[in-house]
Amino acid sequence: MLSVISLFSGVLFGFGLALSGMVNPSKIIGFLDISGNWDPSLIFVMAGGVLVTIISFRFLLNRPTPIFGGKLVLPTKQDIDTPLLAGAGIFGIGWALGGFCPGPALSALAYGNEKVFIFVGAMIVGIAVAKIGLRSLRLA
């Protein structure tokens, strides 16, 4: 049952990304181009996501267990450190250059666009290199 719920959630998320234009790099780049021809429409997508989160978390976090079982694990780390800032910076640069966020890029694979496949491939390589780099730093 958990797999069915996960699949449904992923399909719903992907559909929402496509419907909102988040899988279109020119839409993202237009949003990030604040000094040129700025497209503010994605503010509504972000506001919708924040609104759903605020409403649902009020109910979900007050439950003793998650709705579909298991254990709810929330992050406990609260400090802002170098890896967080570096990761956020690299993420932002990649988003601005490629016009894709990882989730929408995976959803956009369904369109069969060559540029999306290149981006996702580069993203996977970047994740692997980062894991190897972090592992070697912890061993040093």
User: Is a pLDDT exceeding 50 seen at residue 101?
Assistant: yes
Q: Among all chains, which residue has been given the structure tokens 């929402």?
A: 16
pTM: 0.63
Which is higher by pLDDT, 114 or 99? 114
Q: Enter the tokens of residue 129.
A: 């290199």
Question: How far is residue 16's CA from residue 107's CA, in Å, rounded to a whole number?
Answer: 10
User: Are the beta carbons of 28 and 22 closer than 8 angstroms?
Assistant: yes
pLDDT digits (tens, 9 = 90+) for 25-73: 888 888 888 888 888 888 898 899 899 999 988 888 888 888 777 788 8
* Position 131 pLDDT exceeds 50: yes
pLDDT, residue 47, reads 93
CB contact at 8 A, 109 and 28: no
Query: Which residues 6+ apart lie within 8 Å of 80 measured at CB?
Result: none
Query: CA 91, 92, 94 angle in degrees (round to 5)?
Result: 65
| Calpha distance 114→22 (Å, rounded) | 17
Res. 2: pLDDT tops 90: no
Percent share of the chain, pLDDT over 90: 14
